[in-house]
Amino acid sequence: MLKTLTVWNFALLEHVQVEFGPGLNILTGETGAGKSILIDSLGAILGQRISSDSIRTGCDWLRVEAVFSLEQELPELHAFLTSQAIDDSEGMLIITRQVTRGGRSMVLVNGCHVTLAVLKQIGSFLVDVHGQNENLALLKEESQFNLLDGYDPKLSEALAAYRQVYDNWRSCSQQYAEKEQASREYAQRLDMLRWQDKEIEGAQLKAREDEELEAQIRKLSHAEKIAGFVEESYNLLENGSKEGGSVLAALSRVKKNLMDMSRFDESMANAQKMVEEAFISLQEAAYELRDYGEGMEFSPEKLDKLQRRMDVIYKLRKKYGATIEDILAHQEKVRQELQDIENYDDDMQELAKQIEKLQQELEAKAEAVTKLRVQAAKELGTAIGKQLLALGMPKAVFRIAVTRAGKFQPRGADAVAMYFSANPGEAEKPLQKVASGGELSRIALAIKTVAAARDASVPSMVFDEIDTGIGGRTAQMVAERIALVAKNKQVLCITHLPQIACMADIHLYISKSTTDGATNTQVHQLTERERISEVARMASGVDVTTASLDNAKEMVSHAMVFKNNLR
């Protein structure tokens, strides 16, 4: 439910904070005061596009902030927020949207930055806007399907079961078609795959062989340098150089000196120990250098052989992967594809059997959906017809027809159409061909009235000047239908009709004033006394008389009785 809406610098709204409550929230005021601007600012929170032209003159930015309470369980909204890493554990949703004069936009939901597309999806879970565009949407087949399928929970369950089978059937059918299409290229593909497999197999590759070969080639390529390093190092350790004796000989003398010294002073015992350990370590190093040098051999033939082997691996790495592991993985993939192609006939037979089985199951599920849809269409059509009768269309006929479409679709195997006839003797025709704007508005209201009690997915609803072009008894009927909707949902309604205004649970009056050449819009929640005065003004015009006030009191009193009976 929408708790508060705060607006800064949006057209005539310099800074307005509006508190909304449960039930019917009525917005009234003079033409041009800014009622539609307030609804437009709510639309901005719901993801509608707004341009920098909406920024108040003299300002650099506009901002709209809405606070929604999530007292009602909305599992689909919760799942979507969770998928976007938005925390709603505190039962509140704070949405902020800001647009700058330069066109930059920012959207925050509970402190998290989101895109406009995400905001629009979140808005679809929170508020249902009922206006001229939404009435026209009713003419679309998708909207008619949504209305019908959401009417009966059993139908929704049957449709979910159908879709699960449909997805499997569609997937198998697509695989069959792809394999059938690919079979035309199999002959050429087989030759290439077999050649690749043979080339890799012929190389007799071993894991990490390339690394070992590169190490050996590097060693043999620099064998002369390595031999020089070994000889010089060994001589320095063991034999000495022209400049002096060997390292080991010198270290041996140091060791002896420290040993002799320890007979007179033991303070150098630790140094003696370190020298002895160093002597042993260096002696072992000298042995290793000697053995390494004696075992070294330089063979140009071996180097050439290794390089030829490495050329084979380089060639394969260039074709099939950066490492031997990648090449072997490619070979495994090739062999799997070869196996799939060679098993083509068996796979196609298996797929055909699976598709046939799924098609039989799909037919049964589709039949179950159709049966429930026909029943729901009958009940929903009757309920909407009763509401049309109450909305001043006593001779109207409204019917929802469900027929088999002849092919499986994501929504089943049905076609749905709404038929309408406004007057006796007129043939029923599809809704989009016969309904006028006024008739369509009342049909949409009738549908909202019926659906409101069953549809728990959207907690709030906006009626944007639904009263255009109606009056008298019809206005009273429309008011009662809106009150019926407000029994189950929070409703925000802009109206010019006193019959609708007197049904308010919260009445908000929107006015504008001019100060220093700037126009500002204010929103004020009316007291009971102010509310009666406003209803009287709406009913009689500018001059409010005692008689018009008495009439307004009576209208509000009758509205209270009607609402109490609803409860």
User: How sure is the predictor about 203, in pLDDT bands with cuts at 50, 70 and 90?
Assistant: confident
In a domain, 523, yes or no: yes
Q: Residue 28, Cβ neighbours under 10 Å: how many? A: 26
- Asked whether residue 122 falls in the same domain as residue 230, the answer is no
- Asked whether residue 23 falls in the same domain as residue 113, the answer is yes
pLDDT at 372 over 60: yes
Chain centre distance of CA 427: 45
> What is the arrangement of strands in the sheet containing 490-494, beginning at the earlier edge strand?
127-130, 460-464, 490-494, 24-29, 506-515, 518-525
What pLDDT shows up at residue 438? 67
The model's pLDDT over 423-438, given as tens digits with 9 standing for 90+, comes to 877 788 888 776 566 6
- Asked whether residue 92 falls in the same domain as residue 210, the answer is no
Q: Is 12 helix (H, G, I), strand (E, B) or coil?
A: coil
What pLDDT shows up at residue 131? 62
In a domain, 298, yes or no: yes
- Asked whether residue 99 falls in the same domain as residue 9, the answer is yes
What is the rounded average pLDDT of the residues 531-537? Answer: 91
Per DSSP, what are the bridge partners of residue 69?
Answer: 92
- Asked whether residue 32 falls in the same domain as residue 124, the answer is yes
Which helix (H) or strand (E) segment is 177 a member of? helix 153-182
- Domain of 230, in residue numbers: 204-341
- Asked whether residue 10 falls in the same domain as residue 131, the answer is yes
The model's pLDDT over 473-507, given as tens digits with 9 standing for 90+, comes to 778 888 888 898 888 889 999 888 899 999 999 99
| Long-range Cβ contacts of 164-171 (<8 Å, 24+ apart) | 165/358, 165/361, 165/362, 165/365, 166/362, 166/365, 166/408, 166/410, 168/358, 169/355, 169/358, 169/359, 169/362, 169/408
The model's pLDDT over 137-183, given as tens digits with 9 standing for 90+, comes to 677 788 788 888 888 889 989 999 999 999 999 999 998 888 777 76
Which of 341, 373, 393 is at the close of a domain? 341
Give dist(CA 151, CA 130) in Å, integer.
18
Chain centre distance of CA 136: 27
The model's pLDDT over 209-238, given as tens digits with 9 standing for 90+, comes to 888 888 888 877 777 787 788 777 877 777
The model's pLDDT over 306-345, given as tens digits with 9 standing for 90+, comes to 888 888 888 888 888 888 888 888 989 988 878 777 667 7
Which of 320, 341, 362 is at the close of a domain? 341
Are residues 161 and 299 in contact, defined by beta-carbon separation less than 8 angstroms? Answer: no
Which of 317, 341, 365 is at the close of a domain? 341
The model's pLDDT over 393-422, given as tens digits with 9 standing for 90+, comes to 888 888 999 998 878 999 999 999 888 888
Name the domain count of the chain: 2
pLDDT at 364 over 90: yes
In a domain, 370, yes or no: no
Give dist(CA 450, CA 484) in Å, integer.
9
Are residues 532 and 555 in contact, defined by beta-carbon separation less than 8 angstroms? Answer: no
